[in-house]
Amino acid sequence: MPLIGCHVSIGGGVQNAPERGKTLGCDAIQIFTANQMQWKGAPISAESRDKYISEIGENDIKMVVSHDSYLINLGSPESVKLAMSRKSFIEEIERSTFLKIPYIVFHPGSHMGKGDDAALQTIAESLDYCMEKVPGSDVSLLLEITAGQGTNVGYKFEQLKNIIDHSSYPDRLGVCFDTCHAFAAGYNIANEAGYSDTFQKFDDIIGLDRLKVFHLNDSKKPVGSRVDRHHRLGEGFMGWEVFYRLVNDEHFANLPMILETPGDEEHYGGEIQLLKNACK
Ligand SMILES: [Zn+2]
Ligand SMILES: [Zn+2]
């Protein structure tokens, strides 16, 4: 059975996240290790860290993943913005390493009018640069597939593979598969044939062994819309079937599957329960 859970707040301190997750029925949680809308994250004290680690055990949370700040663009063509993005991403690696979090999920980046290829190259260079700045870390960096909205890159498996191929540290890179993003990007996983075809392509192009985390979201926009609008499971253009198929897919049996559906944190409890009940 996969590790089903959701994104939870670190309000009041990172040490509060595990209990929030447990209350909602999570086996895995995703957190921001700092305010996701600010460049400079607040440092985490050793006391908070120690409390957080003991809370993970007490609340039986089996996996924690972090998500980077929405401001970061590791593919930016502007040198100032790129430097700020890299600095902020390095701090994310440092905080996640300090918290013993194994995976950072991040949006690859945006080309801002300069074209996909330039951004893909810059992103690979940014990842090398950032990993080299935190030499003691073994945290894995997971490229999240995007919807391809605006100038975002990473909406095709070939683009994610391109970044991995240009990295000097490919062993540290993996992929986070967001169902809404993939669907909006044109991968029609909502029906059985499209589902099989999509994951076969993923395996052929990237390799399923690189797929480490799922984001489970329905989509408010149709397949191929290139618009990133999450919906609650079963309420969007995707429907429930794909999510029941995913949680029972033996290829993904032990992977974290994280909800990022809209609404207050409390609503996650019902979706998590429905997914767990669907596991055979
Ligand atoms: Zn996501
Ligand atoms: Zn999204």
Q: How far is the CA of 48 from the centre of ligand 2 (A)?
A: 29
- Ligand closest to 181 (CA) is 2
- List pLDDT tens digits, range 14-23: 999 999 999 9
Name the residue among 209, 201, 153 with its Cα closest to residue 181.
Answer: 153
Residue 35 above 90 pLDDT?
no
| 126-135 average pLDDT score | 98
Q: Ligand 2 centre from 271 Cα, in Å?
A: 18
- Compute the C-alpha angle 268/263/2, nearest 5°: 30
Predicted local confidence at residue 11, as pLDDT: 94
Q: Which ligand is nearest to the CA of 230?
A: 2
Question: What does the pLDDT look like over 40-65, one tens digit per residue?
Answer: 888 899 999 999 999 999 999 999 99
Ligand lying nearest the CA atom of residue 105: 1
- Separation of 174 CA from ligand 1 center, angstroms? 14
Give the tokens for residue 184.
Answer: 């909006």
Say yes or no to pLDDT of 88 above 90. yes
Decide if pLDDT at 236 tops 90.
yes
Ligand 1 centroid–CA 261 distance in Å is: 9
Q: Where are the domains of the chain?
A: 3-278
Q: What is the DSSP letter of 9?
A: -
Alpha carbon of 215 to ligand 2 centroid (Å): 9
Average pLDDT over residues 245-251: 98
> What pLDDT, in 10s, does the model give residues 193-209?
999 999 999 999 999 99
Position 36 scores a pLDDT of 85
For the chain, give the mean pLDDT. Answer: 97
Kindly tell me if the per-residue pLDDT of 37 is higher than 90: no
Per-residue H/E/C for 69-89: CCCCCCCCCCHHHHHHHHHHH
User: DSSP of 205-231, one letter per residue?
Assistant: HT-GGGEEEEEE-EESS-TT-----EE
Side-chain-side CA neighbours of 129 within 13 Å: the count stands at 18
- pLDDT mean over 167-179: 98
Q: Which fold has domain 3-278?
A: TIM Barrel (3.20.20)
Give the sign of the dihedral formed by CA 50, CA 52, CA 58, CA 60.
negative
What integer is the mean pLDDT of 90-98?
Answer: 97
Q: How far is the CA of 19 from the centre of ligand 1 (A)?
A: 22
Q: pLDDT value at position 14?
A: 97
pLDDT band at residue 151 using 50, 70 and 90 as cut-offs: very high
CA of 178 to the centre of ligand 1 (A): 5
Share of the chain above pLDDT 70, in %: 100
State mean pLDDT over 124-137.
98
Distance 144 CA to ligand 1 centre (A): 7
| Helix runs in the chain, H state only | 17-24, 46-58, 79-98, 116-133, 157-166, 179-185, 192-205, 241-247, 268-278
Distance 228 CA to ligand 2 centre (A): 5
Contacts of 209 by beta carbon, 8 Å cutoff, 6+ apart: none
DSSP type of residue 19: H
